Chains A and B, each alone.
Chain A
Amino acid sequence: MPKRTDLNSVLVIGSGPIVIGQAAEFDYSGTQALRVLKEEGLRVILVNSNPATIMTDPEFADATYVEPITPEVVEKIIAKERPDAILPTLGGQTALNTAIALDKSGALEKYNVELIGANIEAIELGEDREKFKGVVERCGAESAKSVIVHTLDEAFAAVEELNYPVVVRPSFTMGGLGSGMAYNAEDLTRIAGAGLQYSPTTEVLLEESILGWKEYELEMMRDKNDNVVVVCSIENFDPVGVHTGDSITVAPAMTLTDREYQNLRDISIAVIREVGVDTGGCNIQFAIEPDTGRVVVIEMNPRVSRSSALASKATGFAIAKIATKLSLGYTLDEIPNDITQKTPASFEPALDYVVVKVPRFAFEKFPAADATLTTTMKSVGEAMALGRNFTEALQKALRSLEQKGSELSFEPIPADELDSVMKHIEKGSTERMSLVQRALLSGKSIEELFEATGIDPWYLDQLALINETAAMIAANKDLGEDVLREAKRHGFSDAQIAKLSGKSEAVVRGVRHALGVRPVYKTVDTCAAEFEAFTPYMYSSYDEESELVAHEKKSVIILGSGPNRIGQGIEFDYSCVHAVMALRAEGYETVMVNCNPETVSTDYDISDRLYFEPLTLEDVLEIIHAEEETGGVLGVFVQLGGQTPLKLAAQLKAAGVTILGTSPEAIDLAEHRGAFQRVLDSAGLIAPKNGTAVSFPEAKAIADSIGYPVLVRPSYVLGGRGMEIVYDEASLERYIANATEITVDHPVLVDRFLEDAIEIDVDALFDGTDLYVGGIMEHIEEAGIHSGDSACTLPPITLGPDVRARVKEATRAIAEGVGVRGLINIQFALASDILYVIEANPRASRTVPFTSKATGVQLAKVAALIGVGRTLSELRGSYLPAEGDGANLPDSAPIAVKEAVMPFARFRTPEGKVVDSLLGPEMRSTGEVMGIDKYFDTAFAKSQAAANNPLPTSGKVFVSVTNRDKRSIVLPVKHLADRGFEIISTGGTAEVLRRNGIPTQVVGKLHEGGESIVDLIHAGEIGLILNTPSGSDARGDGYEIRAAATSVGTPVITTVAEFGAAVQAIDALREYAWDVTSLQEHEAALEAARNA
């Protein structure tokens, strides 16, 4: 039965900004979906507010709406485009929730739109905890046992059956109030007693604890003929208690017999049928009691999920692509397996390797946050690695994290710390695995560690095996061939071997190469080599046979950006993918290297060859060698994947590798203070006064000479890591004391901080002769907030032609002086009409996708072509507009506003409070959205709605600002008051407002007693908050206000500049009926204006 013929157009809902728990994997799945729909000849409509995605590239859909993903906006798109169907299962929970809301509001019925890939009943059965319990029961399986009690006596009776520990959950309390774990009768009396009090219905749910059980997940597909296949099983290294997104996970399951695995498979199939997932993917999670094998179904996701992306990359089975085809009416047996070509998708992949995924965290960005891992996901990215055994895959995955200390080390835990470590590892933490492994070195047994952690003894033995191998290396420091082979078999890097054998990494590599100990490259083929594979999706292993085949053209290698982290996310994958697309289109043989399973770049059909490998010098050099051996290498791109590949540039060049685009010398020139200063001097440009220090006295001398406040930061960082604005000497001393790694090679940079300056970001291309300014972005917040966290607008809304001309000239001078060949990003600050150069980065920046989408010019593609020798003038009229550039957009160009999305609500202090949401020079946003419209006000309003901070059009506004801001808020606050907003304020701010004739309700501060502003926020009465911090109150009222706002989701604005923009936007929302416009429409208008 072939595909349905009654569908002509489909609307795909994306997942919006990257947030913790919903990341780049939905760009990967959405992009696959769009490609399938286009290939099938359908008209494709997309809504996604995230400009950094590949899926929002205009070429992937017929109509691309970079608009907020809210039911209202999506309804407008439906009304305009009248699609036949909506595909909501590839855009995460955001898409699914939007689809449900559209169904509930009647919009689907009104416009006669069908949901494909899911139905509302199935979604609800899958997602509603109680209904799902019923499903599980009807399938003859078990959920965790629970009992509802109304008295303590009932509670004690219930525990007879459930056994300690029990989870206590009072009914109908907010935010889990009163929940807890009772380990004994005393706990139960206390927690359940209090819980019965808290509960308005005097009702408490007691549930058996499954903490410490083995955790598994099965990825399933089902088609309309009720064919079901299991794509992959995934086993969590960490037992139940750590969110699967935060756990190290392994595919396939390693510690189940066939009988037990088939039982999970049978339950999964029964559940997917009972829930009624029509077509597409879903996953089901299980817990297994380690001593008895009792199985409990935890939950299911009736859609493509993060684990589906992982399962796709782990097996080569393209879940999102196939789910899309199934939603169009195909059946699994009608869809060919791309990899084998000859066999169908109606099978279950067989792996002949092991896959390990490790999460990457960003707790260093949130020092106040509790780093204990719980059932709330906190990781911001992940790395995956494949190996021919677990130890190889694990160690490759760990070094893929690129974090200091992520590779295992082999120092035993000191005896006096062992007891506290054994206690610490009972809970999940980022360092748990390495502590467990080192505890083994300290003599703890596998049994003891299993007892403490619940980690399966098989995995613990694998850690012991790694330890034994380390000991073997240390005992054979002369490193013979057998020693090296054995070490490599278990995934040891040259760096680890170097440390264990007391040699340098270069010497180890030299010895290894001399002995001919090199990796081979195997293929991910879905079938364990049973059939020939036609897609070169490769991974390395120290095994016998390499499967690389000779290639005719020399390859161009693009190094990716590794695991997502704050400051280096999907934007860099976007640039890498664009480079690959452009180079492929121009006939180059492209090779992609990356280790991030969430990304589009690691889809096996994006490049000519994919190496799913860590991005360390060792791993990259081996790939280059293998490519040289099989046909030669034209060169390597390091400027597209962010800091990860960039930091390899000099070493790659030293190893004789050709770097395409900007040379390592030029990169160093831009990063090196002194040298860069000379570039600026010779161009007549100025930087804020600055200096470089390696000690506090040096830093103090610099600060004294340039005056406080100063901006201090370590050199060579991305995302403003460790950056701080320091207002006085005491703070400076504290900063230097806390900065751990100051060396002559890595000094601290001390800059004059420009207060009240306008920050400007530029993305430009330079080919050695010509400059093309991609776009000039004006930040909405003043300088001092990291550019990644601040909102900005393109074209700039207050910079006149003269300023833009100066920016362009300065950009040319720097690009030329540094020697850029490709992309450069420069940050300027305009203070008192003087243009300061803050910094220049000769690489693809975070804003490249935003600039590209706002101006309709794909900068990363051009950068790639410059790298292989093309010139800007050659590319005019094809990749670039025939005339003009992004510095001088037509007056009618739409205004694009980029807004950052922050993860504060995810993190709690050890006391359970939300961490502070104050913005600063250190970047903490996880993602971004774009609002685009004819005028700034509406564009800004859209950006706020897209970032889940919709601005209110009436109601109460709370205003509390620091002294220096009091003068600037009068007018905007009065404006809101005149439009009927109720203004609420405290103390000093209220006084200023009253004296200016603005009716203001005064509420108490926290310490004043009585009903405080924090209570009002918690009660949900406040629609908008303006709170500008004064340096010292970060832990006082300001913090409490921001924390309350974060926990209930009230929009909070922390700068006056942004408040001004918000007031404009509120006006626009109140007064104009704004509309939705596709990027294709914007681009057509822009093209027409350019040609006019």
Chain B
Amino acid sequence: MNSLSNLPAVLVLEDGRIFRGRSYGKIGTALGEAVFTTGMTGYQETLTDPSYAHQIITQTFPHVGNTGVNDEDNESKRMWAAGYVVREASRRPSNWRSTRSLEDDLLSNGIVGIRGVDTRALTRHLREAGAMKSGIFSGDAAAASDADLIAQVNAQPSMAGRNISAEVSVDTAYVVEPADHGYEGEAKHTVAAIDLGMKSMTPHRLAERGLRVHVLPYNATLKDIKATGATGVFFSNGPGDPAAAAAQVELVRSVLDAGIPYFGICFGNQMLGRALGLETYKLRFGHRGINQPVMDKATGRVEITSQNHGFAVDAPIEGSFTAPIERYGKVEVSHFSLNDQVVEGLSCLDIPAFSVQYHPEAASGPHDAAYLFDRFVSSMDSAAEKDSK
């Protein structure tokens, strides 16, 4: 019955704090940035979210793996997390859609995990000390001295300044057809979606609204975009430091200059911010969870959102302002976090571009913000209308 792997394992943080537990998933060494996520559901989506590349995820909810893994809920072709920290790993999955256990998938994806950790103590530590370098060592790797393990952890590159887009993006472009996603009738518009680590729910949300989605790799050019016949451009979520993505920022500027409607999510929000000339910065421990309250300034209403970001755009949340790159005109912060007033959305007032820092596609998380996809469709509708006049 008890099929969980059960060798000594240790989680080591760059500041020397050490948590001991038992092995989970692959036996070996994992290095990455230690972050925590507070979602109580959705571990399958979380582990397969490319935004978590090079991060060791701590799940604050203590039971993980209860519903096993199914064939429908992956958000990409594989798990991206660098490592996985849980308190209680389920021995027996139970769900009518489950086809295998989570540990099976951790093993087949080569993810080194650790279980039995006081994840709350770890979370409190990360909350106070901030996200930091970390490593999981299990089996023989765990036998090394603490000093040696700390040195291994500190030897890895820091998340700040890293561009990871190439690793997580698709190699070749592909098309997502509305008809394959429950949309009846002719496609309304064509969208070029730049994959910087996109979750599969995103093209689904676009396609089900009648958009034909050309998914393009991270290094696509305006020419590539135009070649698809796209009348709208979407920039996805993804890992890494937005300040290290100069090429993508330039691409956004060329899209804006061409007057093509733009919609960005997460990394795509940071790309818009930087394209407008705004700065981005690293949050102490990030926003990761599916219970994050966001104020929509336009309606005064609150959305409960799915979030996963360690960086944020620096902009004043009150009123509107002229973009530092003045040719883009007036900009306002459209959404902000009610927890800590971090910018959660940007809206250009003079050009058809907007973006949010959170995840309207959810998966995992609430669907409160799904209206943003409709807003994107409308912005393409009005652009088309303008063109036809």
User: Which residues of A pack against B, CB within 8 Å?
Assistant: 1, 225-227, 229-230, 252-262, 265-266, 290-293, 331-333, 342-344, 346-354, 388-390, 446, 456-458, 461, 464-465, 468, 522, 527-532, 543-545, 547
Contact = CB atoms under 8 A, between A and B. Distances in A.
Interface in B322-365: 338-340, 362-365
18 contacts: A252-B40, A255-B67, A258-B39, A258-B42, A265-B366, A332-B302, A343-B293, A347-B291, A347-B339, A349-B291, A350-B289, A352-B120, A354-B62, A456-B94, A458-B94, A528-B38, A544-B121, A545-B120
Contacts of B119: 352
Given A229-B302, A258-B41, A346-B304, 19 more contacts: A227-B302, A255-B95, A259-B73, A260-B95, A265-B366, A343-B340, A350-B39, A351-B40, A352-B38, A352-B61, A352-B120, A388-B62, A388-B87, A446-B92, A458-B94, A528-B61, A530-B60, A532-B127, A543-B121
Interface in B88-147: 88, 90-97, 118-121, 123-124, 127
B72 interface: yes
Contact of B127 (A227, A353, A530): A530
Given A352-B62, A531-B339, A545 B121 contact: yes
Contacts of B36: 529-530
Residue from B41, B88, B365 with most neighbouring chain A CB atoms (10 Å): B41
Contacts of A256: 41, 67, 95
- The range of chain B's interface size is 35 or more
Contacts of A261: 41
A351 B304 contact: no
A977 B94 CA distance: 69
A215 to B, nearest CB: 15
B295 A333 contact: yes
B45 interface: yes
B70 interface: yes
B298 interface: no
A262 B120 contact: no
Given A350-B61, A351-B61, A354-B62, A262 B95 contact: no
B118 A543 contact: yes
A879 B62 CA distance: 48
B63 interface: yes
Nearest to A290: B96
A461 B225 CA distance: 53
A353 B120 CA distance: 9
Contacts of B95: 255-257, 260
Contact of B362 (A262, A349, A389, A527): A262
Nearest to A350: B38
Report which residue of A225, A226, A354, A458 has the largest number of chain B beta carbons within 10 angstroms of its beta carbon: A458
A854 B294 CA distance: 51
A355 to B, nearest CB: 12
Contact of B118 (A260, A344, A465, A544): A544
B91 to A, nearest CB: 6
B190 interface: no
A107 B367 CA distance: 43
B289 to A, nearest CB: 6
Contacts of A456: 94
A354 B364 CA distance: 20
A265 B39 CA distance: 14
Contacts of B295: 333
B300 interface: yes
Contact of B63 (A344, A346, A390): A390
Contacts of A389: 62-63, 87-88
Contacts of A349: 291
A529 B92 contact: no
B97 A258 contact: no
A994 B364 CA distance: 80
Contacts of A230: 304
Contacts of A260: 95
A257 B73 CA distance: 9
A526 to B, nearest CB: 9
Contacts of A531: 127, 339
A258 B45 contact: yes
Contact of A343 (B88, B339, B362, B363): B339
Contact of B96 (A291, A348, A527, A543): A291
Given A257-B42, A529-B127, A530-B127, A346 B60 contact: no
B62 A530 contact: no
B292 interface: yes
Contacts of A529: 36, 60, 120, 123-124, 127
B227 interface: no
Nearest to A459: B94
Q: Which of A290, A389, A531, A545 lies at the interface centre, i.e. has the most chain B CB atoms within 10 A of its CB?
A: A545
A1086 B334 CA distance: 61
Nearest to B20: A544
Contact of B123 (A266, A528, A543): A528
B245 to A, nearest CB: 27
B1 interface: yes
Contacts of B223: none
B228 interface: no
Contact of B364 (A258, A331, A468): A258
A351 B45 CA distance: 19
B123 A352 contact: yes
The 9 closest A-B pairs by CB, nearest first: A258-B42, A545-B121, A258-B364, A544-B118, A458-B94, A258-B41, A528-B60, A350-B38, A348-B291
B320 interface: no
B120 A461 contact: no
B325 to A, nearest CB: 32
Interface in B22-57: 36, 38-42, 44-45
B66 A254 contact: yes
Given A257-B73, A389-B88, A446-B92, A350 B40 contact: yes
A527 B36 CA distance: 12
B386 interface: no
Contacts of A262: 41, 362, 364-367
Interface in B300-327: 300-302, 304
Nearest to A265: B366
Contact of A229 (B97, B304, B340): B304
Given A262-B362, A348-B304, A531-B127, A457 B87 contact: no
Nearest to A349: B291
Nearest to B70: A257
Contacts of B340: 342-343
Contacts of B96: 290-293
Nearest to B300: A225
B172 interface: no
Contacts of A258: 39, 41-42, 44-45, 73, 290, 363-365
Contact of B2 (A255, A457, A468): A468
A232 B165 CA distance: 37
Contacts of A543: 118, 120-121
Given A529-B120, A543-B120, A257 B291 contact: no
Interface string B1-16: 1100000000000000
Contacts of B60: 350, 352, 528-530
Given A352-B123, A530-B289, A259 B301 contact: no
Given A256-B41, A256-B67, A266-B367, A347 B123 contact: no
Contacts of A257: 41-42, 44, 67, 70, 73, 95, 97
A347 B121 contact: no
Contacts of A293: 96-97
Contacts of B367: 262, 265-266
A974 to B, nearest CB: 69
A842 B32 CA distance: 62
B94 A347 contact: no
Contacts of B291: 347-350, 527
A225 B301 CA distance: 7
Contact of A457 (B70, B92, B300, B301): B92
Nearest to B41: A258
